[in-house]
Amino acid sequence: MQRIMTACFLFPFAVCTTAPVQGADFVNLVNGRNLDGWTQRNGTATYRLEGDTVVGKTAEGSPNSFLCTDKLYGDFELNFEVKVDTQLNSGVQIRSQTADGKPDGRVNGPQVEISLDGMAGYVYGESAGGWMTPEDDRKAHQHFKDGDWNAYRVIANGNRIQTWINGEQVSDLTHAERYKSHPKGFIGLQVHGIGAGQGPFEVRWRKLKLRELTK
């Protein structure tokens, strides 16, 4: 897995930084009052707003559910914090679409994994061919903390997607073919489907901020 040289690697007591990426100012994706600007797609999980926190709650027997931005994004830097119940995994869709462009079509596209199995931060192709991060690069790690808030940073720039969790870089992926099919799309907050007799479980997101990048 290719990693960017960071200031904290060169100087252990420095603040962790990466090479600057040109872009606009960060904007809040959640307005703090309601979920205007977002639309739920697929599934019957519920989403609610508690202060600045979006809470997704499972529904027994439901397939995967997604709360998606109405606005589409191509090249961007996305930051957020997430906390998930131990029994649940989740993810954040980026550059995603619905099948045939239909409002109720199957959500598909790159997903940044949220999980406790050591795979958090790797990129999965939701309904789009499986893992985008190659198997040889998916090394189990412990950067994602159970029962705590976890800070994610995602940079999608051209055919390159980079991810960090709690300041540690997890993935640096170049995927030209998938970029051709998903160069732009919505951001989606996933509540994973659960089986009968399970749950309910919850996943929480806060501090969802995005800035679009310039070429």
Residues 3-61: tens digit of each pLDDT: 333 333 333 333 344 445 677 799 999 999 999 999 999 999 999 999 999 999 999 98
133 three-class SS = coil
Complete DSSP assignment for 157-195: ETTEEEEEETTEEEEEEE-HHHHHH-SSBEEEEEE--B-
CATH of the domain at 98: 2.60.120.560
User: Which stretch of DSSP H or E encloses residue 8?
Assistant: helix 7-10
Q: Is residue 43 part of a domain?
A: yes
Tell if the pTM clears 0.85, that is, is over it: yes
User: Among 72, 78, 29, which Cα is nearest to 52's?
Assistant: 29
State mean pLDDT over 61-84.
Answer: 97
Measure the CA–CA gap between 65 and 43, rounded to whole angstroms.
4
Q: What pLDDT does residue 136 have?
A: 94
Number of domains into which the chain is organized = 1
SS3 content of the chain, % helix, strand, coil (to 5): 5, 45, 45
Q: Is residue 9 part of a domain?
A: no
Is residue 10, in this structure, part of any structural domain at all? no
Q: What is the mean pLDDT of residues 62-68?
A: 95
- The string of pLDDT tens digits covering residues 109-123 is 999 999 999 999 999
Q: Looking at 71-185, list the stretches that DSSP marks H as alpha helix, in order from N- to C-terminal side.
A: 176-181
pLDDT in tens, 138-152: 999 999 999 999 999
The answer to the question of residue 103 being in a domain is: yes
Residue 82 resides in a domain = yes
Q: What is the pLDDT of residue 113?
A: 98
pLDDT surpassing 90 at residue 186? yes
Domain presence at residue 15: no
Instruction: Answer yes or no: is 145 within a domain.
Output: yes
Mean pLDDT of the chain: 89
137: containing domain? 23-212
Mean pLDDT, residues 87-107: 94
User: pLDDT at position 198, please?
Assistant: 85
Residue 206's SS3 state is strand
Report whether pLDDT(68) > 50.
yes
In a domain, 5, yes or no: no
Q: How confident is the model over 152-171, as pLDDT tens digits?
A: 999 999 999 999 999 999 99
